[in-house]
Structures are given as structure tokens and as C-alpha cells.
Amino acid sequence: MRVRQLTPDDAAAYQRLRLQGLQESPTAFSASYSAEADRPLSEIAVRVTPAPDGSLCVFGAFASENLVGILAFVRPAREKLRHGAELAGMYVAPEFRRRGLGRALVDAALAHARSLPGVRQLKLTVNAANAPARALHKMLGAIEVGRKRDYYGPGDERIVAKIDRAIFEQMRPKYERLGFIPPRTAEAAA
Ligand SMILES: CC(C)(COP(=O)(O)OP(=O)(O)OC[C@H]1O[C@@H](n2cnc3c(N)ncnc32)[C@H](O)[C@@H]1OP(=O)(O)O)[C@@H](O)C(=O)NCCC(=O)NCCS
């Protein structure tokens, strides 16, 4: 398994997997299958092109060269909002779940966030009924900061959670143990 940022060459594979996700888990995403199904590949290619300043990119998890997991990283352009970035559109194909791909995708996004000066927190939004995603967020140490009712329509309840620098540092030993991040050298820790 390998995780890397997608490029325009991955547009077709990304769109296939994303449409599969929108059909299979419609309540997990703000986008809908009907609105996305006919989007031209040229638009998708733009969407998966990493922004030069790192503010926008999509991570992909590959198994035997096939794209089987995706996660978008979005940092707002506005100055007052740039300390936070959002993780969105996470999807792992059902046959590849519970193998650590979701974790590995978030790990890559965390490492990316840490590489961008000024990013201090990551926001994650999840449907209250989505037990697997909530378990993953909990494992990452994300803390609930709010709830949005009727967000994607009547009856939809979203939990907004965040991971900030302090939480990341608290979780560091666990992340290192799980292999999300390489152990810090004594020199770096000093
Ligand atoms: C949520 C999702 C991305 C998780 O992907 P995944 O690759 O299976 O996740 P991982 O294997 O990395 O799991 C990491 C941890 O999350 C928790 N977790 C994941 N799936 C779980 C499940 N079905 N039940 C309970 N805990 C679960 C576990 O703590 C797991 O660690 P463990 O396997 O060592 O116990 C995947 O289930 C998915 O694509 N679901 C549909 C779309 C979706 O809900 N997206 C998220 C929108 S917020």
C-alpha cells in the first residue's frame, strides 16, 4: 500500500472511486452522485491538481497501483481562516477497509499540514451515525467542537471535530507507535 498526492493523471481513477463512494455512502459526503456523475474529466483533472502553495490537494491510497482510497486537504484562502485546514471526501473502497488505509490517508494529510507554516488545526466533519469514521476520528484524538443539525437536509446531524497542534503533540507517541510518523530524533525533540 502506498499513499501519495494525486496529479491530473489520476483524474479518471479518482472520479471512478469518488462516484463509487457517492453511490455507496451517500450520507458521508456533501456532494451527490447525480451532481457529480457527468462532470467532465477536464474539471476533475483541475480538482486533483495540487495547488502550488499546498492549500489544496487530494491524497490517494494505492494497492497494487490501483487507487482504492481518497482524502482531500483544503486550506481556506482567507487570512483569518488560514490557520485551519479541512479534511474532506474520505473514502476507502469496501474491500480494502480495516487495513489501515484511512489512517494512512489522514497521516499523510497531517504530515502535509505540519509542513505548511501557520496551519494549527485540522477540521473533520462526520455524520453522527457514521460509526467507522467517528471511531477513526476518535483514534486520531480529534475532539468534538460542535454539531450541525439538518445540515445536509432534514434529520442530518453532523459532528465537527478538530485536531490541533496540542492534540497532535499529545498523540505523537501513539502516532509514532502506530507508524503514522517516523520517530522524532533526539536532536529534533530538543
Ligand atoms: C471511514 C473509512 C474511510 C475508514 O477507512 P478504513 O481504511 O477502513 O480505516 P482504517 O482501517 O484506517 O481504520 C482505522 C481505525 O478506525 C476505526 N474504524 C475503522 N472502521 C471501523 C469500523 N467499521 N468499526 C469500528 N471502528 C472502525 C478503528 O479504530 C480502526 O483501527 P483498527 O482497525 O486498528 O481497529 C471507511 O470506512 C469508509 O470509506 N467509509 C465510507 C465513507 C465514509 O464514511 N467516509 C468518511 C466521511 S467523514
Q: Tens of pLDDT along 82-111? A: 999 999 999 999 999 999 999 999 989 988
Asked, for residue 174, whether it belongs to a domain, the answer is: yes
> For ligand 1, which residues put their CB under 6 angstroms from it?
21, 25, 28, 90-92, 97-103, 126, 130-133, 135-136, 139
Rounded Cα gap, residues 168 and 75, in angstroms: 18
Asked, for residue 189, whether it belongs to a domain, the answer is: no
- CATH for 149: 3.40.630.30
Asked, for residue 187, whether it belongs to a domain, the answer is: no
Report the number of distinct structural domains present in the chain. 1
Enter the pTM of the model.
0.90
Q: How far is the CA of 15 from the centre of ligand 1 (A)?
A: 21
Q: How far is the CA of 189 from the centre of ligand 1 (A)?
A: 31
DSSP state of 1: -
- Name the pLDDT band for 181 (thresholds 50, 70, 90): low
Asked, for residue 190, whether it belongs to a domain, the answer is: no
**Alpha helices of 73-185 — where are they, by DSSP H?**
101-115, 131-139, 165-178
Which cell goes with 155?
A: 434529520
Q: Which domain holds residue 67?
A: 2-182
Asked, for residue 96, whether it belongs to a domain, the answer is: yes
